[in-house]
Amino acid sequence: MSTESCLTSDQARYTLFAKSVTENISMGTTDTFPTQNDIHAEGASPVPVQSGQQADNSTPPVVAVGKELAEEIGKFCDDCTKRYAFNSRWDNVLNVTGILLSVGIVASGVYQRGAVSAILGAFVAAIVSAQKAFPFGQRTNFYRVLIGQSSNLETDVDQGLISKQDAVAILKSLRLDFAQQLPRGSTFNSGDAGGPEDGPKS
Q: What is the mean pLDDT of residues 7-31?
A: 58
Q: Place 61 in a pLDDT band, splitting at 50, 70 and 90.
A: low
Helix ranges (H only) for 28-66 are 36-44
Domain extent listing, the chain? 67-187
Give how far Cα 24 sits from Cα of 29, 80, 190, Å: 5, 97, 112
Cα distance between residue 156 and residue 94, in whole Å: 38
Q: Tell me the pLDDT band of 23, cut-offs 50, 70 and 90.
A: low
Find, among 177, 186, 84, the residue nearest to 137 by Cα: 84
pLDDT band at 57 (very low <50, low <70, confident <90, very high): low
The pLDDT value given to residue 19? 67
Of 123, 142, 125, nearest in space to 202 by CA: 142
Residues in CB range of 72: below 8 A, 6 or more apart: 171
Residue ranges of alpha helices (H) inside the chain are: 2-27, 36-44, 67-110, 114-133, 136-158, 164-180, 190-193
Contact 69, 153 (CB under 8 A): no
Q: Cβ(93)–Cβ(134) under 8 Å? A: no
For residues 99-108, give the mean pLDDT: 92
More confident: 160 or 18: 160
pLDDT for position 21: 53
pLDDT digits (tens, 9 = 90+) for 112-170: 888 988 999 999 999 999 989 999 999 999 999 999 999 999 999 988 888 889 999 99
